Amino acid sequence: MGTESLAVLSFVAFSLSELRHTLSLSLASDTASPIALFSRIRSAFHCIDFGKFISHSAMADSSSAAVSARGPITHVIFDMDGLLIDTEKFYTEVQEIILARYNKTFDWSLKAKMMGKKAIEAAKVFVEETGISDSLSAEQFLVEREEMLQKLFPTNELMPGASRLVKHLHTKGVPICVATGSHRRHFQLKTQPHGEVFSLMHHIVLGDDPEVKQGKPAPDGFLAAAKRFEGGPVDPSKILVFEDAPSGVLAAKNAGMSVVMVPDPRLDKSFLDAADQVLNSLLDFNPSDWGLPPFEDSGN
Ligand SMILES: O=P(O)(O)OC[C@@H](O)CO
Ligand SMILES: [Mg+2]
């Protein structure tokens, strides 16, 4: 049997065991109704990391080949909204309220086009795609949503696994930073409750940084972030980006970097294809997949 067939077989066996493991965990957690059961089976299938196929194929030859297919990674860049903190839900909430005034509804296909972008770029998408630009300009939309957002932002929480991963990489001496579409004023409101986690970042690149001429999916923010590491610019092929947004995943790829996507489950699955690895949660990240130091705890 050829190396490729072995790789395919090993991937299938691995995926089935991962699926069985996830299902057994889900089913053990409580008694499930048929609908809950169906949705768990669906999300268990979603949890299969098809990106692992790459490393499993490579592993058929040697384990160091597996790392070289994806790394070795020396530096990590984190997206912020929807990845480290759960602020995307606030944008959704406020945009739903504004659209309701025009008897329109906000959906995830529009959300996918807005998330990760600079405020004004996302605002233009919002008024144009919804057909309300004659009544509300992008600038007016930003003013309308501001008061609501300012109240909501400081109440945000860290995403599951964010604190553990940031602290782990920092403790192991892996240089880490943030590259976000958020501008400075919003960044300050959003990070107020999480000083400890954000203080571990080597630097932060904001959406209104003079070097970030264009927001995601342009690579500007990630390239500026690569430059500002100690001894930078760091070779993009040595950088791993964590993202939740389709525009952010494309920005990382446009910068020549590897990207782990942790998408909201409501995002259309077609947006996952561009990522090198897709995870349900940061808690599922295995640093060894990328040649990074392994966790020493069990993750609970
Ligand atoms: O780049 P992030 O941190 O996701 O921020 C974008 C934000 O302004 C909302 O989508
Ligand atoms: Mg994001």
Nearest-atom index, ligand 1, CA of 243: 4
Active site residue 79: yes
Give residue ranges with CB within 6 A of ligand 1.
79-82, 91, 115-116, 119, 180-182, 245, 248
Superfamily of domain 88-155: Putative phosphatase; domain 2 (1.10.150.240)
Confidence at residue 281, expressed as pLDDT on a 0 to 100 scale: 98
pTM for this model (two decimals): 0.79
125: amino acid identity, one letter = V
Nearest ligand to the CA of 216 is: 1
Is pLDDT at 230 greater than 70 in this prediction?
yes
Nearest ligand to the CA of 113 is: 1
Residue 25, phi-psi category: left (phi > 0), alpha (psi -120 to 50), beta (remainder): alpha
| Separation between Cα atoms, residue 116 and residue 110, nearest integer Å | 12
Is pLDDT at 59 greater than 70 in this prediction?
no
Active site residue 284: no
**Which candidate in 49, 81, 220, 289 is catalytic?**
81
In terms of C-beta density within 10 A (0-12 exposed, 13-18 middle, 19 or more buried), how is residue 28 classed? exposed
What separation in Å is there between the alpha carbon of 44 and the centre of ligand 1?
28
Nearest-atom index, ligand 1, CA of 83: 4
Confidence at residue 69, expressed as pLDDT on a 0 to 100 scale: 55
**Which candidate in 30, 49, 61, 79 is catalytic?**
79
What separation in Å is there between the alpha carbon of 242 and the centre of ligand 2?
9
Question: What residues does CATH 1.10.150.240 cover in the chain?
Answer: 88-155
Per-residue model confidence as pLDDT tens digits over 100-119: 999 999 999 999 999 999 99
**The 75-78 sheet, strands edge to edge:** 204-205, 176-179, 75-78, 239-243, 258-261, 277-278
Nearest-atom index, ligand 1, CA of 182: 8
Q: Which of 3-7, 25-29, 92-96, 250-254 has the lowest mean pLDDT?
A: 25-29
Which residues, in sequence order, are bridge partners of residue 176?
Answer: 76
Higher per-residue confidence, 36 vs 247? 247
Ion ligand 2 neighbours, Cβ < 5 Å? 79, 81-83, 116, 244-245
What separation in Å is there between the alpha carbon of 290 and the centre of ligand 1?
25
258-261 and 277-278 strand pairing: parallel
- 71 pLDDT band, cuts 50/70/90, is low
User: Count of residues for the chain?
Assistant: 300
* Site to substitute for ligand 1 among 115, 158, 206, 220, most atoms within 8 A of C-beta: 115
Nearest-atom index, ligand 1, CA of 119: 8
Q: Which CATH number fits domain 73-85+158-290: 3.90.1150.10, 3.40.50.1000, 3.20.20.70, 3.40.50.720?
A: 3.40.50.1000
- 44 pLDDT band, cuts 50/70/90, is very low
Question: What residues does CATH 3.40.50.1000 cover in the chain?
Answer: 73-85+158-290
